[in-house]
Amino acid sequence: MVATIRVAQWLHGALRVPTAQTGRAQGARSRVRCPSRPECSLRVHDEVALTDTLDDLRFTKPLYTVSEAASYLGVPRSTFATWMHGYVRSAPGTRSVHGEPLLTSIEGHGLTVPFIGLAEGMVLAAFRDTGLPLQRMRPALQRFAEEHELDQALASKHLYADGAEILYDYARAHGDKQLRLLTVVRTGQWFFHDVIERYLSRIQYVDEWAAGLTLPTTDEPILLADPERAFGQPVFVHGGARVADVKSRVEAGEPTQAVADDYGVPLDDVLAALASSSAAAAA
């Protein structure tokens, strides 16, 4: 059974979704945290029918640990954890500064990041790659979420379609020249800077929401995260093998070429994936 969610309901507190989609025991509960509105939460439970056409698996099934999600996006674990949990910073004699969570997460231990949380993280990784502090962008991202009445705005196709213009309008209204540099105009339309575009163009959407990610850790689009394949773990675009399976055999001492041939994965793709995995482990 494919459960569905009415987006407007995410803005008004708790929403119940079928337990069957979460992979937990019947009757078990978990809490899904929505970004941008801390008071918004989704209780995962059974025996409730939902409306509209939104596959809740992407939102409610925990697939990744914080460390895994960070490595798949090529960001430090501490950075991803801050995005997910928010932060409180203070200095002697000054008022504390609070940053609210920006990613969808599921309370618990171990697997706490659903696919939508990973997709949101990929968008934040794009902004991070521009070198502009995320704190400068938080108000603009909040404006976008409010205009579209979306809690998971970062994972919405609307961000790709309308986000650049909203970001530019916000930056112009607030006199933020650096923020304006994240957008460019072509043929009368606003687009994100090429650095951001490189990430966003790797997101595939279904029903207006992220449904597949071509991961940004390699220059070429060779690694895919899809919640309906391999439990969301990265697979090779060519050959379809899980990256973890290929990596484990190579690390066990098998010839890389032989492993690539067994899985039908181009050798260059295997080498690039192994290199990105090593870089992530060193981060």
Domain boundaries, the chain: 7-216, 217-283
Residue type, 211: A
Q: How far is CA 87 from CA 101, 221, 278, in A?
A: 8, 33, 29
Q: Which fold has domain 217-283?
A: Arc Repressor Mutant, subunit A (1.10.10)
Output the pLDDT for position 135: 82
Enumerate residues 6+ apart whose C-beta is below 8 A from 157: 205, 208, 209, 210
Report the SS3 class of residue 11: helix
Enumerate residues 6+ apart whose C-beta is below 8 A from 256: 250, 267, 270, 271, 274
Q: How far is CA 251 from CA 150, 248, 259, 269, 275, in A?
A: 43, 5, 11, 16, 12
The three-point CA angle 197-163-78 to 5° equals 65
- Tokens at 254, concatenated: 């098998």
Output the pLDDT for position 49: 33
Output the pLDDT for position 278: 79
Query: pTM of the full predicted structure?
Result: 0.80
Residue type, 166: I
d(CA 280, CA 139): 30
| Pairing verdict, β 105-106 and 97-99 | unpaired
Q: Angle at which helices 267-282 and 243-251 pack, to 10 degrees? A: 80
Residue type, 230: A
Q: What's the helix, strand, coil split of the chain in %, to 5?
A: 45, 15, 40
Output the pLDDT for position 283: 63
Output the pLDDT for position 8: 26
Residue type, 150: L
Report the SS3 class of residue 184: strand
Structural contact between residues 213 and 225, judged by C-beta atoms closer than 8 angstroms: yes
Sign, CA torsion 82/131/224/141: positive
d(CA 96, CA 91): 7
Helix (H) or strand (E) holding 163: helix 157-173
Low-confidence ranges of the chain (pLDDT < 50): 1-30, 36-55
Structural contact between residues 45 and 33, judged by C-beta atoms closer than 8 angstroms: no
Structural contact between residues 18 and 48, judged by C-beta atoms closer than 8 angstroms: yes
Output the pLDDT for position 74: 95
How many other CB atoms are found less than 10 A from the CB of residue 283?
A: 13
d(CA 87, CA 27): 33
Output the pLDDT for position 10: 30
**Phi then psi for 262, rounded to 5 degrees?**
-60, -40
Q: How far is CA 278 from CA 106, 208, 218, in A?
A: 28, 34, 12
Output the pLDDT for position 31: 53
Output the pLDDT for position 96: 79
